[in-house]
Amino acid sequence: MKKIKLWFVIIFALWLFFAVATKVASSWAFEGYSEADVYAEPYAISTETTLINDFSPTPVVYDIPALIRLKSQEWGLDTNIMIRIIKCESNFRQFDESGNVLRSKTNDVGAAQIHVPTWGAKAKELGHDIYELEGNLNMAMYIAKHYSFSQWVCYK
């Protein structure tokens, strides 16, 4: 009878450990995101393609919040602020429904809504193509690092 109780205690302890560990791990995975961000609409599909077997182009799908997090860390910026800014500016979309680069009426482009008349020449000088996702995010990081987050209306 003691052996059965001991096994029961061991199994219960293991179950409890894994239940807590799973809860903690899932909370870490979504750190910095609200429930609305996690269950938001699917992320934009890039118009970039890769060739598989040299004949079938396939769209590349980006996890934009993860890419923002990576770029923010590379540039030494607050990841949560950059995620909030880009979520507000474009809802994490680089392209519109037609596959064209997202563009505002005031000539802001891409996920970070980079203002072309203000930053277009500097982006070109730095080698950032603001019409592609990575270049757009790199330019956003440059602006935030060298000028401030206040360059975006969504930060204010």
Q: Check residue 96 and give its pLDDT.
A: 87
pLDDT-derived band at 52 (thresholds 50, 70, 90) equals: very low
pLDDT digits (tens, 9 = 90+) for 57-108: 445 556 888 899 999 999 999 998 999 999 999 998 999 888 889 999 999 9
Segment 4-41, tens digit of pLDDT: 667 767 777 777 666 665 554 444 444 555 545 544 44
Separation between Cα atoms, residue 110 and residue 131, nearest integer Å: 6
- Tokens 């409890």 correspond to 16
In the numeric block, the tokens 């956003």 are attached to 140
Amino acid, single-letter form, for residue 131: Y
Query: Helices (H), strands (E): how many in the chain?
Result: 6, 4
* pTM for this predicted structure: 0.61
Answer with the residue of higher pLDDT: 134 or 31: 134
Which architecture does CATH list for 32-155?
Answer: Orthogonal Bundle (1.10)
Q: What does the pLDDT read at residue 20?
A: 60
Torsion, Cα 134 135 137 138, to 10 degrees, reads 110
Q: With a cut of 80, say whether residue 137 has pLDDT above it.
A: yes
What are the domain boundaries of the chain? 1-30, 32-155
**Mean pLDDT for the stretch of residues 53-59:** 49
Beta-sheet strands, E only, within 62-129: 108-109, 114-115
Average pLDDT over residues 111-139: 94
